[in-house]
Amino acid sequence: MVDPIQSNIVAPAQMPSLPAAAPTASATGGKFMDVLLNSLEEVNRLQQDADQSVQALYSGKTDDVASVFTAVNKAEVAFDLLMEIRNKLVDAYRDIQQIRI
């Protein structure tokens, strides 16, 4: 008779491999602050592109309303996402402040 406990044991060759250790900041190419700063720069660039598109439409340099609308919406979505990230960071900071040691 087969022992029920022994029949559930997985042989070492059948065990799945463990994931590699979490990459360090240098392995991923930057730190959290660098990612935030790059995101801020990208949002700023999108805002400037949208402003230039609107100015070109007003001045008559372009009549492509769809591309202007797309640029403005892209900048708006990027800014909204940035604000949500900021709100989450502020909430996390406040939670950390309330931790009693």
Quick one: pLDDT band at residue 86, thresholds 50, 70, 90? Answer: very high
Residues 45-60 pLDDT 10s: 999 999 999 999 999 9
Residues 16-26 pLDDT 10s: 444 444 455 55
Q: Which of 71, 78, 74, 65 is nearest to 51 (CA)?
A: 71
What global pTM score does this model have? 0.64
- Mark out the alpha helices in the chain (DSSP H runs): 4-7, 25-28, 32-59, 65-97
Tell how far CA 16 is from the center of its chain. 30
Domain range annotation of the chain = 30-101
Residue with tokens 């402003």: 51
Tokens encoding 17: 């491999």
Could you tell me if residue 16 is left (phi over 0), alpha (psi between -120 and 50 degrees) or otherwise beta?
beta
